Chains A and B, each alone.
Chain A
């Protein structure tokens, strides 16, 4: 038993060293240390293979070894370690953590590029959930997210070029053509597509890939949003219009927890594969209320009705109207960042609006399509 303690302590010492080296930016040394930590922790766990009732020690060591295996991309080894832990008698809490880890392992299989080689200006999006079969997807579930992702890429590119947020991008075709988003034929993975960013040649500086930078920025922001790190995200996107646009689009793309359980992003950044898992459920994301709005207005309003009228001819107006079941017209002001990408696609749909009362208007914070109530 002393050997188990010795191996485990050595493994954890190495894992600590690895996290310190990672913080210092010594990534390859960190990876080497994690690999060594994994081997020691795996040996410690395997020493207790037949000690089925030594819980929670057995399952915690196997879970720890599996986590390290995932860190050093030994996915098959992680799967075996988790299965071994679950085949014993782990406490309910540890068993649940092991199952979460197993889900992570399986989703990583979907992130696998399966022979597809991504260029630096491309990334793969892979979707799993009840609406997704092997190579097939319910069209509404998939198409809306693809359109929103296209908008998100475009807005990220504009932001990284320090451009002011342009509300009516669709009307200015020549400017919009600076960035093009292409999408591949879907493939089975459960369901995966590749996005490619095209950019005018003069803006792609030699030795520095603008498209690669945009993809990396997009993945960083989705990662922060997924971890509910809105403060860091706001620091990264200080412009309110871009921030509001990002949050609204990311919320629409996010998994509903059933039809879509997770969305995976895979890219190649500086020659290495990078994965981001987007698992934060739509229902768990609170309405977006920017601090500057919250301070001014107190009364939250929710109204449902059909979006029948939109007026964005006058930039100052940006007004939509909602007709509820009683025929009442509600005048709603749309803040910068939402009209083109968020509101316009909902034209003529039954929607719910969440906002703040401001004189005879409702100042929009969130709008979403809802099933019509009978």
Chain B
């Protein structure tokens, strides 16, 4: 059964600390790690809490992104030393909040794919069995890049997905932290 992803534009702000509440497919502990990574990426670009993030592509919106001051700052920054890894985790954190706040879908499942997780999304409050009628979420993070870099990252994701004829709903999100901007494609 094909289920269309609907866009909801009610939220005007997201709070990174809310990732610590978890999602049906994410534990609270893991959510707070993603939140830390996202804060590190945004602070690294000198953004204050409350920074306005542009969402474009298939969703046109703006969101203020808030976070609480990091306590044990030294420990957190020691954990997130790997630039690329932090960017990817931070992008996932923001993507989860964008999907759950701006669409009628949420993160319901994860599975392993290669060395990382593969995230699956479904209608909020759905009771479908594992991965049944679920969609997929593809996320990529760029710490600092121009529009052409965002476009080429999106193209790369789309070209891989377009090889397959299927009706699995899909959201692709490229998160760029310096502006910050999130480009979203919904299938």
Residues of A within 8 A of B (CB): 1, 4-5, 8, 12-13, 15-17, 20, 23-24, 41, 54, 56-57, 60-61, 63-65, 67-68, 71, 91-93, 96-97, 101, 104, 227, 229, 231-232, 235
Query: Is there an interface contact between B33 and A20, defined as CB atoms closer than 8 Å?
Result: yes
CA distance A93 to B136 in the complex (A): 11
Number of A-B contacts (CB under 8 A): 81
Q: List 23 A-B contacts (CB under 8 A).
A: A12-B110, A12-B117, A16-B29, A16-B30, A16-B117, A20-B29, A20-B33, A23-B33, A23-B79, A41-B112, A54-B129, A57-B130, A61-B111, A64-B111, A64-B113, A67-B113, A68-B112, A71-B115, A93-B164, A93-B168, A231-B84, A231-B143, A235-B83
User: Knowing A96-B164, A231-B83 touch, does A1 contact B110 (C-beta < 8 A)?
Assistant: no
Q: Which residues of A contact B129 (CB under 8 A)?
A: 1, 5, 54, 57
Query: Is there an interface contact between A92 and B30, defined as CB atoms closer than 8 Å?
Result: no
Query: Is there an interface contact between B130 and A13, defined as CB atoms closer than 8 Å?
Result: no
User: Knowing A91-B166, A91-B168, A96-B163 touch, does A57 contact B131 (C-beta < 8 A)?
Assistant: yes
Query: Is there an interface contact between A60 and B83, defined as CB atoms closer than 8 Å?
Result: no
Q: B126 at the A/B interface (Cβ < 8 Å)?
A: no
Q: Which residues of A contact B118 (CB under 8 A)?
A: 60, 64
Query: Is there an interface contact between A57 and B132, defined as CB atoms closer than 8 Å?
Result: yes
Interface residues of B in 19-78 (CB under 8 A from A): 25, 27, 29-30, 33
Interface residues of B in 141-177 (CB under 8 A from A): 143, 161, 163-166, 168
Give the size range of B's interface with the partner.
20 to 34
A61 interface neighbour in B27, B33, B117, B130, Cβ under 8 Å: B130
Query: Is there an interface contact between B130 and A97, defined as CB atoms closer than 8 Å?
Result: no
Q: Which residues of B contact A15 (CB under 8 A)?
A: 112, 117
Q: Which residues of A contact B161 (CB under 8 A)?
A: 93
What's the minimum C-beta distance from B53 to chain A, rounded to whole angstroms?
A: 21
Query: Is there an interface contact between A8 and B112, defined as CB atoms closer than 8 Å?
Result: no
CA distance A60 to B165 in the complex (A): 17
Q: Which of A61, A64, A68 has the most CB of B within 10 A?
A: A64
CA distance A293 to B50 in the complex (A): 37
CA distance A363 to B30 in the complex (A): 49
What's the minimum C-beta distance from A222 to chain B, rounded to whole angstroms?
A: 15
Q: Which residues of B contact A65 (CB under 8 A)?
A: 112
CA distance A96 to B166 in the complex (A): 13
Q: Which residues of B contact A12 (CB under 8 A)?
A: 25, 110-112, 117
- Residue in A closest to B114 when the chains form the complex, CB atoms: A67
Q: Which of A13, A57, A101 has the most CB of B within 10 A?
A: A57
